[in-house]
Amino acid sequence: MKQLRNTQNASSIFDNPLWTVKQAAVKLSVSEATLRDWIYKRQIPFKRVGNLIRFDPFEIHCWVQERTQHGY
């Protein structure tokens, strides 16, 4: 039973895969250089997986929403 729960938790993690720098740059319509500058300045949420930089799509969505100005 415990192993089954761990399997279920692991599968839910991969329902929302992390983005690479290239994928995040495309989604945000910015250059990879700009995105790497934001990472360096800690202006955007990111995760380190070993030596790799990855982005959680939900965190990026929230980050964009916080910075979006609505012109009503």
43 pLDDT band (50/70/90 cuts)?
A: very high
CB 24 within 8 A of CB 35: yes
CA distance 56 to 2: 27
Is the pLDDT at 32 greater than 50, yes or no?
yes
Q: What is the pLDDT of residue 11?
A: 57
Is the pLDDT at 70 greater than 70, yes or no?
yes
Q: What is the pLDDT of residue 24?
A: 97
Least confident range from 15-19, 25-29, 47-51: namely 15-19
Instruction: Provide the token pair at 31.
Output: 């250059």
Concatenated DSSP letters of 13-38: HTTSPPBPHHHHHHHHT--HHHHHHH
Q: What is the mean pLDDT of residues 54-68?
A: 95
